[in-house]
């Protein structure tokens, strides 16, 4: 598929898809005319990338991580170096703390929302 369809199907802007490619997160074939041509699998990959960005990882770390990820198709995956593993453990712990904070914040919002609902019957 071409970039417009991938953008539509993932909800990620064309600008960002080109940026991902520039950062080495996403590869694309090119048509003879130079336009990007993505495989079906790109949809999942872009969604993963988006999630990792949302989790606060920087593109450089995502680039290191991606080859080690088991894809849905179960393709061969590289093994993370000890150095990378240490980084990933730190990231995972940070994400865990982040999740805790997010749950707290959601509960706070729920509390305010419910209080307002109740105060109006």
Partner DNA sequence: GTAGAAGCTAACATCAATGTCAGGTTCAAG
Partner DNA sequence: CTTGAACCTGACATTGATGTTAGCTTCTAC
Which residues form the interface with DNA (CB under 7 A)? 2-5, 12-16, 18-20, 23, 28, 31-36, 50, 53, 58-59
**Least distance in angstroms from the C-beta of 119 to DNA:** 28
For residue 63, which of 52, 47, 79 has the smallest C-alpha distance?
52
Helices (H), the chain: 3-10, 14-22, 42-54, 59-65, 82-119
Q: Do 10 and 46 touch, CB atoms closer than 8 A?
A: yes
Work out the burial of residue 52: count CB atoms within 10 Å of its CB; fewer than 13 is exposed, 13-18 middle, 19 or more buried: buried
Q: Is 99 among the residues that bind a second copy (CB under 8 A)?
A: yes
Query: Which of 18, 55, 59, 63 contacts a second copy by CB under 8 A?
Result: 55
Only segment of 10-18, 23-31, 38-46, 81-89 that touches a second copy (CB under 8 A): 81-89
Q: Is 69 in the site for a second copy (CB under 8 A)?
A: yes
Dihedral angle of Cα 10, 53, 58, 45, to the nearest 10 degrees: -40
Contact status: 91 vs a second copy (CB under 8 A): yes
Binding footprint of a second copy on the chain (CB under 8 A): 48, 50-52, 54-55, 57, 65, 68-70, 77, 79-80, 82, 84-85, 88-89, 91-92, 95-96, 98-99, 101-106, 108-113, 115-117, 119
């Amino acid at each position: 598929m071409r970039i417009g369809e991938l953008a539509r199907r993932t909800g990620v802007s064309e600008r960002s898809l080109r940026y991902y490619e520039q950062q080495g997160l996403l590869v694309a074939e090119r048509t003879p005319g130079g336009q990007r041509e993505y495989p079906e699998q790109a949809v999942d990959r872009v969604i993963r990338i988006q999630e990792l960005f949302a989790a606060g990882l920087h593109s450089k770390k995502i680039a290191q991580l991606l080859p080690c990820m088991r894809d849905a198709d179960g393709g061969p995956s590289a093994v993370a170096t000890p150095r990378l593993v240490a980084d990933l453990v730190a990231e995972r712990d940070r994400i865990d703390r982040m999740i805790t904070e997010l749950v707290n914040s959601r509960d706070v919002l729920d509390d305010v929302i419910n209080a307002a609902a109740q105060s109006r019957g």
